[in-house]
Amino acid sequence: MKKKRIILHIDMDYFFAQVEERENPHFRGKPVVVGADPKEGKGRGVVSTCNYEARKYGIRSGMPISRAYKLFPEAVFLPVNMHFYEKVSVSIFDIVRKNVGEVELVSLDEAYADITKKAGSYKKAEEIGERIRKMVFRKEKLTCTVGIGENKMMAKIACEEAKPNGIKTVKSTESLKFIEKMKVEKIPGIGPKTREVMEKHLGKKNLKIKDARKIKKEKLVDLFGKRGGDFYNKLRGVDKSSVETERDVKTVGKEHTFQEDTRDPQKITKTFKGLVFSVSKKVERESLSTKGVVVVCRFEDFETHTRQTSFPKGDYDSDFFYKKSVPLLLRFLTESNKKIRLVGFRVITGS
């Protein structure tokens, strides 16, 4: 007999843009878009985060910045100030930890906590959630949303439904019905491709969770491998994954998209060296042991390739990484005549 869990999920509302609003109060009420430089509509990047005013114009995160600019050129467009958001994130989750102990950080603005023992009941869990929300707002002047459920997936979906500046509990008895009318893509791990395969199999479009439940477990495993079994459970509100409070970093990397596609070896190697240097600094700062390097190359037609090589686990410097990786980079230039759009460098870390 295994005891039921109570999981809490916290997600900051439109995080980057909200931080910018807090720092510049005269932005409040205006559409704010944090992301790449729009450059009068010629920018190459995408929207990182935008506030709800910007969403009224159809602007969304992940959208090419050129399209966002077209939709509403008068919006406030701001660059991503990642170092600052990182600091804000640390203070927020310090507050959260004071309330619930260790948490699993999934990004700068999201975390899970297993509050089974601390709460004991959904009622108490919601009190804890409310206290966190009040404390975060009092100390950081930022709003967030909290979701509570019997597992990580249900907590996350509950949170999604309560946004922004809200809180929502889905009790274990309610899970099945709570999600049945939602699109399959509400299940974490099910994206456009997976949905398409499911739709093809059922011969039905605009698939809802209730529809996808008609696919037999064996069929899902057949279609999606071991993930199929997870999908079968998740479609029924079941998620056995635990809150992992100490996860190790597996890779550290950095990539760069050129202003214009290029084959100029000078330009490419210089940029690449910068990436290697910047990643090396982070590796040294965090005393990470590494065992491999990966070079990423995206060509003008968006085709993306990687080349990697491994070496004995240990502590290495920027020169070593460069020496190991630059031949891989040069192979891309010799083996193709296409122009290059992006280069990237990554190290693989090991305990």
Partner DNA sequence: TTTCCCTTCACGG
Partner DNA sequence: CTAACGCCGTGAAGGGAAA
CB of 44 to DNA, least distance (A): 4
Q: Of 163 and 213, which has the nearer Cβ to DNA?
A: 163
User: Binding pattern to DNA, positions 191-210, x when CB under 7 A?
Assistant: xxxxx---------------
Q: Which of 48, 99, 271, 290 binds DNA (CB under 7 A)?
A: 48
Q: Which tokens go with 68?
A: 């966002």
d(CA 157, CA 176): 12
* Cβ(329)–Cβ(297) below 8 Å: yes
Report CA dihedral (62, 65, 69, 75) to the nearest 10 degrees.
70
Q: Which of 250, 285, 334, 337 binds DNA (CB under 7 A)?
A: 250
What is residue 344's three-state secondary structure?
Answer: strand
Residues assigned a catalytic role: 110
Of 83-91, 96-104, 115-123, 341-349, the window that binds DNA (rule: CB under 7 A) is 341-349
What is residue 80's three-state secondary structure?
Answer: coil
Restricted to residues 69-128, the positions that interact with DNA (CB under 7 A) are: 70, 106-110
Backbone angles phi, psi at 47, to 5 degrees: -75, 130
d(CA 256, CA 271): 8
Q: Of 48 and 99, which has the nearer Cβ to DNA?
A: 48
d(CA 340, CA 154): 42
Q: Of 289 and 306, which has the nearer Cβ to DNA?
A: 306
d(CA 254, CA 82): 14
Restricted to residues 256-315, the positions that interact with DNA (CB under 7 A) are: 256-257, 292, 294, 304-310
- 143 part of the interface to DNA, by CB under 7 A: no
Q: Of 76 and 111, which has the nearer Cβ to DNA?
A: 111
CB of 26 to DNA, least distance (A): 26
- Count residues contacting DNA (CB under 7 A)? 52
Q: Which residue's structure tokens are 């709460």?
A: 119
* Cβ(189)–Cβ(227) below 8 Å: yes
Give the binding site for DNA (CB under 7 A): 36, 44-46, 48, 62, 64, 66-67, 70, 106-110, 156, 185, 187-195, 225-227, 247, 249-257, 292, 294, 304-310, 341-342, 344, 346
